[in-house]
Amino acid sequence: PKKEYILAIESSCDDTAAAVLSERRILSNVVASQKVHEEYGGVVPELASRAHQAHIVPVVNSALTEAGITAADLSAIAFTAGPGLLGSLLVGTSFAKSLSLALSIPLIDVHHMRAHVLAHLIEAEGVKNPEFPFLCLTVSGGHTQIVKVNSPSDFEVMGETLDDAAGEAFDKTAKLLGLSYPGGPEIDRRAALGNPNAFAFSRPSLEGYNFSFSGLKTSVLYTLQKAVAKEPDFIQKNIDDICASVQHTIIEILMKKLVAASKDTGIHRIAIAGGVSANKGLRNRLSELAEKRKWELFLPPFEFTTDNAAMIAIAGYYKWKEGHVADLSISASARINL
Ligand code: KG4
Ligand code: ZN
């Protein structure tokens, strides 16, 4: 039989990405990150969609070339339909629709957050595929969820953030510290050099599995304001300890709910996904907990944690195999439920 190839496109935020998949194997995974946002301290939607327009054709071409195929070999095209920035999503959506029409191949709309989770089903070196059901802690710049994954298409959201996402908690505190955007990786790097118990920041006391991070941000802000009033170079002198303490607090907020979800469901297969899952402190803490609680841990390789199209390809693959294809009336949405 003829080999089947899926091209996947991701453009929900500030990375333009394309990947080619055959069966469950990734043949190419190309990402063009946008530098334009750094000087603004956050993603500027209008600039993001313009950069996607500039990047999408070269990124798709590289993905096809690296996979050793041409567009004529494609069997289907998957794309991120949401959630994300509407102007950014529209670039990938329009491109995918046009290509599907031009090549007369099926179009598959993919949910970005489901794709982060389904990256665990990719067949690749360094990827351990969990059996079902498993629990996934999805932590990104826009979302924070604990999801019970019963099958590639059956997701139950057990808990989610009521305000800021975990990635936002990193990025917003980094901004208070004068670090550049996105602040998560920089806090991660500095946290390794500091004392996680140097400062105590407030933690929410919420019932159930939901999260809240806005109180932490306020708590950091007040601590810094008070300290800087007494000692103007307080932040510079203590930056590593502040980063370590902030990171420690975020991790403990996450772990408290994840431990409860695992206890209550009896599920010991634990996965993490999303950009924040790159965090070294989080990975170390999870490994400790896994040892203590006999968890089987699934930590994705870095290339599949931050936004990428390989995850869109694998999510598209399962939808396609289950017969869930879209037609040309499909549109992108900034918000869609999991
Ligand atoms: O999943 P992602 O690439 O994009 C979204 O869909 O949001 O996640 C981006 C988020 C940003 O908030 C970034 O600061 C955070 O992931 N991030 C990290 C690390 N690497 C990326 N946060 C903490 N530690 C890291 N090493
Ligand atoms: Zn994402």
Quick: pLDDT tens for 180-219.
988 999 999 999 999 999 999 999 989 999 999 999 999 9
Ligand 1 centroid distance, CA of 171 (Å): 8
Ligand 1 site residues, Cβ closer than 6 angstroms: 13, 140-142, 167, 170-171, 182-185, 188, 274-276, 278-279, 306-307
Residue 244 to residue 192: CA distance in whole angstroms: 7
Secondary structure (3-state) at 146: strand
Band of residue 151 on the pLDDT scale cut at 50, 70, 90: very high
Nearest CA to ligand 1 atom 7: 141
23: left (phi over 0), alpha (psi -120 to 50) or beta: left
| Amino acid code (one letter) for 328 | L
Contacts of 230 (CB under 8 A, 6+ apart): none
Quick: pLDDT tens for 107-127.
999 999 999 999 999 999 889
Give, in order, the Cα–Cα distances in Å from 198 to each of 225, 243, 246, 288: 17, 10, 10, 21
pLDDT of residue 18: 98
Q: Is the link from the previous residue into 130 a cis peptide, with omega within 30 of 0?
A: no
Domains annotated on the chain, with CATH: 6-119+305-321 (3.30.420.40), 131-299 (3.30.420.40)
Reference 133, options 144, 146, 116, 123; nearest CA is: 146
The ligand 1 atom nearest the CA atom of 278? 26
The ligand 1 atom nearest the CA atom of 281? 24
Nearest CA to ligand 1 atom 14: 184
Reference 90, options 36, 35, 50; nearest CA is: 50
pLDDT of residue 126: 87
